[in-house]
Chains A and B, each alone.
Chain A
């Protein structure tokens, strides 16, 4: 199938420091990323904080300009689009922000916020048509039409994220990129918002690209997953394949880092030691070799190219054949009741079941 969104060798370097007599450094936030998202799927990008996943999301929507490489949406250039082409792109690709408290203009009413994309991309609609459409969008995301007259500060985090989603849906996009859309929300509200995104994705035939660091969310939301480490994609596979049979030592370590209350010894766990190296001075060779238990001389000098494994993974590791043979510890273990309940919520959410709303009261005592 022809990909709807494609990134080819995408690179983003941020200059740092430097001065009149000082050499400017660079942070290699995204360093040669290639992905292909198929129409209708939910594609997840995971990684630790600072691995460049948010930068990647912003490059894909052209909120940032790439240093090198290309992004294609439906075969059209994203990286160098201007004028009409860029405007079309802004209609077809939408972005959901991480923090619902800072991503809505505090001086605009909900109705204006949600109606704004219509105003730009469908200027022929009359004011009353637009109001009707806003009311419909608000209902669609679980808010009420009369909320259109209110201002963002009157809503709770979950409600604000719904407003953000309504705004993203207004221009009838084909692709929505979510930059950790639920990580700023309470756990109980997270499931509701995930449920909503899943429903919308299915009902409207949307393609979703989700940036996340919560593996539980990813597992139950996405069709395919890309794992990012220090600005590069280290492994790509379908969600099931990735969680059942991780190929890259980093993916394995990431999965084994999910806390498990029963496994106190953790002898079989793949561990990663130390911190992620700074993206302004990434190690030579495989970026992961400084923390990898399988690292050899080869890893210190040569950057591994992504290779396709027989079971359909794309993995960037010199030793995937050897490592793949080590069995991953089984996941048949009991979870704590709380974790179990949470996973149940996610499962129900993705299956589209009705979720009993957890009382969502506007948090008036927000952090000031």
Chain B
């Protein structure tokens, strides 16, 4: 009965392989470290031994970095370090939540459009194109202004603005994947459409979406900073990097540290997410060994 026993050598499981490849990717590890660092700071904000970010000290207005205030103080004597730490929360939350909104709406719509095609696809795709016609940041600003200024509304506005990218990306990936023989093989064994979508389509379109999500978090953090800079995001006195930059621009000559720290942090966290995204893209590619 047995025609020929065949052996497969002991290869690592795919998860281990992905991790191994990711680890060997120096810039991805750097990106990961940056992201972990900022996430840790944001999470630890309540227990770090730093002053209240809203407490003013009229004796120390616009003081340069010193032993008492490591990053200096701002125009009403608040500690910049503590505002930076609490601001990290706003920035990262805005990045992650708005992208979560975009993925949660965009991926299912993209899968439906790509898999079923026809009228469903036509309607979803035309709406997507209409949204894409407006530049990302302009759309986010318009939506945030319409919803009213608050951090939550800024996240919703950024999330909706980022949704079309995910619809388009997912739809394209699904169109590529659905003609693969293995999708036909799922139909041949009588797998219900629901399970074809969740077992065959979704896992195979996920890697590029994951990469895009990481890169979009970076964009969303910049967008939140921009909205806060314009007064449409985090409301005073709660700190955010964007609103700190907004204030700091008035004191660039007298107190450059006020602008330097938020600027540097935005730069580093965005760099971190971008490097992480690039690393994930390489590590998740199943064809490369």
Q: Mark B259-289, 1 if CB is under 8 A from A, else 0.
A: 0000000000000000000000000001111
A97:B8 contact, CB within 8 angstroms: no
Chain B, interface size category, equals: 20 to 34
- Distance between Cα atoms of A357 and B286 in the complex (Å): 29
Closest chain A residue to B11, Cβ basis? A154
The interface residues of chain B lying within 8 Å CB-to-CB of A170 are 189
8 Å CB contact of A153 from B188, B189, B286: B286
Residues in A with CB closer than 8 Å to B188 are 61, 63, 90, 94-95
Q: Does A240 make an interface contact (CB < 8 A)?
A: no
- Pair B185/A91 contact, Cβ less than 8 Å: no
Considering the complex, which residues of chain B in the window 219-257 have a beta carbon less than 8 Å from any beta carbon of chain A?
Answer: none
Cβ contact of A105, chosen from B3, B4, B182, cutoff 8 A: B182
Other-chain residue from A61, A108, A142 in contact with B6 (beta carbon distance below 8 A): A142
Give the chain A neighbours of B187 by CB distance below 8 A: 63
Min CB distance, B169 to chain A, in Å? 18
- Which one, A140, A151, A358, contacts B13 given CB within 8 A? A151
Q: Which residues of B contact A149 (CB under 8 A)?
A: 13
Q: Which of B1, B186, B287, B288 contacts A203 (CB 8 A)?
A: B1
Does A121 interact with chain B (Cβ within 8 Å)? yes
Instruction: Judge if A143 is at the interface, Cβ distance under 8 Å.
Output: yes
Provide the bound-state CA to CA distance between A367 and B77, in Å: 64
Assess whether B11 is in contact with A142, with CB atoms less than 8 Å apart: no
CB <8 Å contact, A97 and B190: no
Closest to A179 in B: B181
| Count of A-B residue pairs with CB < 8 Å | 113
Kindly state the separation between the CA atoms of A358 and B187 in the bound complex, as whole angstroms. 34
Cβ contact within 8 Å between A195 and B190: no
B8 touches A154 (CB 8 A): yes
- Per-residue CB proximity of B197-214 to A under 8 Å, as 1/0? 001100110000000000
Cβ-neighbour of B189 out of A107, A159, A162, A171 (below 8 A): A171
Q: A150 contacts B8, CB within 8 Å?
A: yes
> Which residues of chain B have C-beta atoms less than 8 A from A143's C-beta?
6
Q: Mark B112-137, 1 if CB is under 8 A from A, else 0.
A: 00000000000000000000000000
Contact with B along A166-189 (1 / 0, CB 8 A): 010011000000000000000000
Q: Is the CB of B6 within 8 A of A156?
A: yes
Q: Is the CB of B182 within 8 A of A142?
A: no
Which B residues lie within 8 Å of A158 (CB)?
Answer: 6
**Contact present for B190 and A86 (CB under 8 Å):** yes
Asked if B14 CB lies within 8 Å of chain A CBs, one says yes
Do the beta carbons of A357 and B191 come within 8 Å of each other? no
Residue among A87, A107, A199 with most chain B CB within 10 A: A107
CB of A305 closer than 8 Å to a CB of B: no
Partner of A199 from the list B1, B8, B199, B286 (CB cut-off 8 Å) is B1
Q: Which residues of B contact A107 (CB under 8 A)?
A: 203-204
Q: Which residues in window 180-238 of A have CB below 8 A to B? A: 192-193, 195-196, 199, 203
Query: Do residues A192 and B3 form an inter-chain contact, with CB atoms below 8 A?
Result: yes
Question: Could you tell me the distance in whole angstroms from the C-beta of A109 to the nearest C-beta in chain B?
Answer: 9
Query: Quick one: given A105-B204, A107-B203, A368-B287, are A167 and B189 in contact (CB under 8 Å)?
Result: yes
Closest Cβ–Cβ distance, residue A138 to chain B (whole Å): 11
**Secondary structure type dominating chain B contacts:** loop
**In the bound complex, how far is the Cα of B192 from the Cα of A86, in angstroms?**
11
Give A46-90 interface residues, CB cut-off 8 Å to B: 58, 61, 63, 86-87, 89-90
Bound-complex Cα distance A193 to B3 (A): 8
Q: How many residues of A contact B (CB 8 A)?
A: 58
* A95-114 contact mask (Cβ, 8 Å, vs B): 1 or 0: 10111001111111000000
Query: Separation in Å of the B272 CB from the closest CB of chain A?
Result: 28
- Give the Cβ gap from A191 to chain B, nearest Cβ, in Å: 9
Contact with B along A9-29 (1 / 0, CB 8 A): 000000000000000000000
Residues of B within 8 A of A364 (CB): 289
Interface residue? B180 (CB, 8 A): yes
Q: Which residues of A contact B289 (CB under 8 A)?
A: 364
**With the chains together, A273 CA to B180 CA distance in Å?**
35
Q: Is the CB of B184 within 8 A of A63?
A: yes
| Residue of chain B at shortest CB distance from A196 | B3
In contact, B182 and A140 (Cβ under 8 angstroms) = no
CB–CB A116/B11 < 8 A: no
Residues of B within 8 A of A58 (CB): 184
Q: Give chain B nearest CB distance to A64 CB in angstroms.
A: 10
Which A residues are in CB contact (< 8 Å) with B192?
120
Closest to A95 in B: B188
- Is A116 a contact partner of B189 (Cβ separation < 8 A)? yes
Selected contact of B3 from candidates A97, A108, A116, A355, CB within 8 Å: A355
B2 within 8 A of A: yes
From A102, A121, A192, give the contact of B190 (CB < 8 A): A121
12 residue pairs from A and B, CB less than 8 Å apart: A89-B190, A94-B188, A98-B181, A102-B180, A103-B181, A105-B200, A105-B204, A116-B189, A117-B189, A117-B190, A192-B3, A192-B4
Q: Which 8 pairs between the two chains have the least Cβ-Cβ distance? A: A90-B190, A357-B4, A103-B181, A107-B203, A95-B188, A102-B181, A105-B182, A117-B189
- Besides A142-B2, A156-B8, 19 new A-B residue pairs in contact (Cβ under 8 A), listed by A number: A58-B184, A99-B181, A103-B184, A103-B185, A108-B199, A116-B186, A142-B3, A143-B6, A147-B8, A150-B8, A151-B14, A153-B286, A156-B6, A158-B6, A162-B6, A170-B189, A199-B1, A357-B4, A368-B288
